[in-house]
């Protein structure tokens, strides 16, 4: 039996070559046996942000069977036979099986999207040596989209080395390069969206801009704003179609970052323009607030129930039924807003504004300053404020002051993200890591406060009465509030440790070295 190597390599054909051209070229230079092509239909699934592909995996459906495949070796790691034709959108929709277990930590709360429906025609070539022994397997795959207007199929060439004939494989791969084939990182179709164009291939909610120190501040800010606008726009459809809750989350983060940049990167636009767009993005934020709050509560249902005794958990069901019903209306309101003329005009006005030259040093004195100067100035100022506020907090500090520190810490985080490309990557990772630990502490504290207030508000607005089931709801909610309060106190005790780590000599020294006036990143 011929033994394959574990790994495969993939090649794509140039636009000037098709499958027949490739076979003609191979026939003049190699001896091979060609097996008849085998056809099969496949549907590729992944999350919107390609979490499976990032883990070098592909989820493929053939008929009623799902296969989780390793993209390097090409073989299935887990399978599931959907004999009942179940609607499988999230990992928890799969019955308990190995496939469900493997995709759970990767997909989390993101939905699985159908990225492409493809018909594959796979021809197998066995390259032979002078002794008629197979030294290499070559699979030529014609890939045709079944739900796209693409007229020309893509062709992928997969090479599988035979153990003991590695030299022949190396020689053949060099040969493919000489006739124009292009080596790729993986099976082209593993990134299905790159073929279908249905969803963006390299989506990330992170800010992805490359700023140069000498750039004018207004030009640099526009790059940041454009990136954030693109994030908003690419997530709109997922909110409207209610695919999963992360579309709204990423959309809102982009909105908050935009508002923060308008407030913090000062005097790069006129006061009139700045105030106008701050107000308009505030309108967008308010239109999405309630839906996000409801998403957070509903996503926490299992967690909340685990916090209280088992016999009380059923008492929380009326609360979550009410929240779920409320979400149906709020979801529609949010979708209607995103489809409204008001929203469309705000986005068009902002996009038009970013595309035109609006430099006016008289009204915007910082617009022509070098971005490196403005970045260091704002980051150092905000860092100093965070340190000053944090040092005042003790066990008796009112919650409002803790919340204020959380807001200032978030503003600092945004500034670091906006301008990270101006500074050494390793140093910025260290700083953001320390800040994130502090932010997580403050964020948990804030969430626990809000959750308690929300439960109290629900109880105050609900007529519990003397019905036994309603009394169980009251007991369950009361028990949950007590647990949340105890957690809040624990988080507050942890604050000092987290803050001291963020404000220690090492981190302070790093901030000074990066953001003092004398620092410029070497380029």
Choice between 436 and 87, residue whose per-residue pLDDT is larger: 436
Give bridge partners of residue 38 from the DSSP assignment: 122
Q: Nearest-5° angle of CA 460, CA 329, CA 346?
A: 110
Nearest-angstrom CA–CA distance, 338 and 239: 9
pLDDT value at position 271? 93
Helix-strand-coil split of the chain, %, nearest 5: 55, 15, 25
Nearest-angstrom CA–CA distance, 80 and 510: 51
**Which range, 85-94, 107-116, 184-193, 330-339, is most confident?**
330-339
State the pTM of this model: 0.87
Please report which helix (H) or strand (E) contains residue 5, including its range.
strand 4-12
pLDDT value at position 110? 97
What is the per-residue pLDDT across 368-390, written as a single tens digit (0 to 9) for each? 999 999 999 999 999 999 999 99
**Which range, 150-164, 175-189, 293-307, is most confident?**
293-307
pLDDT value at position 463? 56
Residue whose token pair is 């060099």: 174
Instruction: Check the CA dihedral 225-381-363-271 and report its sign.
Output: positive
Residue whose token pair is 């506020």: 389
Out of 61-65, 119-123, 290-294, 484-488, least confident range: 119-123
Residue 6 confidence class, pLDDT cut points 50, 70, 90: low
What is the per-residue pLDDT across 269-303, written as a single tens digit (0 to 9) for each? 999 999 999 999 999 999 999 999 999 999 999 99
Nearest-angstrom CA–CA distance, 42 and 298: 34
Residue whose token pair is 């807001």: 407
Nearest-angstrom CA–CA distance, 502 and 434: 5
Residue whose token pair is 């700045």: 274
What is the per-residue pLDDT across 219-265, written as a single tens digit (0 to 9) for each? 999 999 999 999 999 999 999 999 999 999 999 999 999 999 999 99
Backbone torsions φ then ψ of 58, nearest 5 degrees: -135, 135
- pLDDT of 190 over the 90 cut: no
Provide DSSP, 299-329.
HTHHHHHHTS-GGGGGGGHHHHHHHHHHHHH
Pick from 291, 280, 295: nearest CA to 335 = 291
**Per-residue pLDDT averaged across 418-447, rounded?**
95
Domain covering 204-369, topology = CHAD domain (1.40.20)
Pick from 52, 97, 57: nearest CA to 74 = 57
What is the per-residue pLDDT across 14-67, written as a single tens digit (0 to 9) for each? 888 888 899 999 999 999 999 888 888 889 899 999 999 889 899 999 999 999
325 CB-side CA count, 13 A:
6
Nearest-angstrom CA–CA distance, 114 and 280: 35
- The tokens describing 507, both together, are 């981190």
Query: How high does pLDDT run on average in the chain?
Result: 89
CATH tag, 370-517: 1.40.20.10
Domain definitions of the chain by residue range: 4-196, 204-369, 370-517
- pLDDT of 313 over the 70 cut: yes
Out of 117-121, 416-420, 428-432, least confident range: 117-121
- pLDDT of 345 over the 50 cut: yes
pLDDT value at position 151? 52
Choice between 473 and 259, residue whose per-residue pLDDT is larger: 259
Nearest-angstrom CA–CA distance, 39 and 47: 27
Q: Fold match between 4-196 and 370-517?
A: no
Out of 327-336, 358-367, 475-484, least confident range: 358-367
Domain covering 4-196, topology = Hypothetical Protein Pfu-838710-001 (2.40.320)
Pick from 361, 380, 350: nearest CA to 268 = 361
């Amino acid at each position: 039996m011929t033994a394959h190597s574990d790994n495969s390599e993939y090649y794509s054909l140039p636009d000037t070559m098709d499958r027949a051209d490739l076979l003609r070229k191979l026939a003049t230079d190699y001896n091979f046996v060609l097996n008849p092509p085998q056809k099969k239909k496949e549907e590729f699934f992944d999350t919107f942000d390609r979490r499976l592909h990032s883990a070098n995996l592909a989820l493929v459906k053939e008929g009623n069977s799902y296969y989780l495949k390793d993209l390097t070796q090409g073989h299935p790691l887990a399978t599931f036979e959907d004999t009942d034709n179940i609607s499988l959108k999230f990992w928890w929709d799969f019955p308990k099986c190995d496939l469900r277990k493997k995709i759970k930590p990767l997909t989390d709360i993101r939905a699985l999207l159908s990225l492409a429906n493809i018909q594959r025609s796979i021809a197998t070539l066995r390259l032979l040596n002078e002794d008629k022994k197979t030294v290499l397997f070559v699979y030529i795959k014609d890939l045709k989209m079944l739900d796209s207007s693409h007229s020309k199929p893509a062709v992928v060439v997969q090479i599988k080395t035979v153990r003991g004939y590695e030299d022949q494989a190396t020689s053949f791969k060099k040969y493919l390069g000489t006739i124009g084939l292009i080596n790729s990182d993986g099976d082209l179709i593993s990134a299905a969206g790159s073929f279908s164009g249905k969803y963006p291939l390299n989506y990330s909610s992170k800010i992805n801009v490359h700023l140069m120190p000498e750039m004018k501040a207004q030009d640099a800010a526009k790059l940041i704003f454009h990136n954030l606008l693109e994030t908003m726009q690419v997530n709109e459809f997922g909110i409207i179609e209610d695919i999963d809750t992360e579309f709204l989350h990423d959309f809102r983060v982009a909105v908050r970052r935009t508002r923060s940049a308008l407030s913090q990167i000062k005097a790069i636009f006129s006061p009139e323009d700045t105030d106008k767009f701050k107000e308009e993005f505030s309108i967008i934020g308010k239109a999405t607030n309630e839906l996000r709050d409801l998403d957070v509560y509903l996503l926490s249902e299992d967690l909340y129930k685990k916090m209280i005794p088992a016999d009380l958990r059923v008492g929380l069901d009326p609360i979550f039924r009410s929240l779920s019903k409320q979400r149906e209306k709020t979801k529609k309101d949010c979708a209607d807003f995103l489809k409204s003329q008001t929203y469309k005009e705000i986005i068009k006005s902002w996009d038009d504004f970013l595309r035109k030259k609006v430099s006016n040093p008289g009204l915007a004195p910082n617009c022509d300053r070098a971005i490196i100067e403005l970045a260091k100035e704002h980051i150092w100022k905000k860092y100093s404020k965070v340190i000053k506020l944090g040092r005042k907090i003790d066990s008796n500090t009112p919650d409002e002051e803790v919340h204020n520190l959380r807001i200032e810490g978030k503003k600092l985080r945004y500034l670091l993200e906006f301008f990270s490309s101006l500074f050494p990557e390793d140093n910025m990772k260290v700083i953001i890591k320390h800040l994130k630990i502090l932010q997580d502490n403050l964020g948990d504290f804030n969430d626990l406060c809000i959750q308690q207030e929300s439960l109290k508000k629900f109880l105050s607005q609900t007529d519990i009465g003397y019905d036994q089931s309603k009394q169980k709801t009251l007991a369950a909610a009361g028990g949950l509030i007590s647990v949340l309060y105890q957690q809040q106190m624990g988080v507050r005790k942890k604050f000092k440790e987290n803050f001291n780590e963020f404000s220690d000599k090492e981190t302070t020294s790093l901030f000074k070295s990066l953001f003092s006036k004398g620092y410029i990143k070497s380029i």
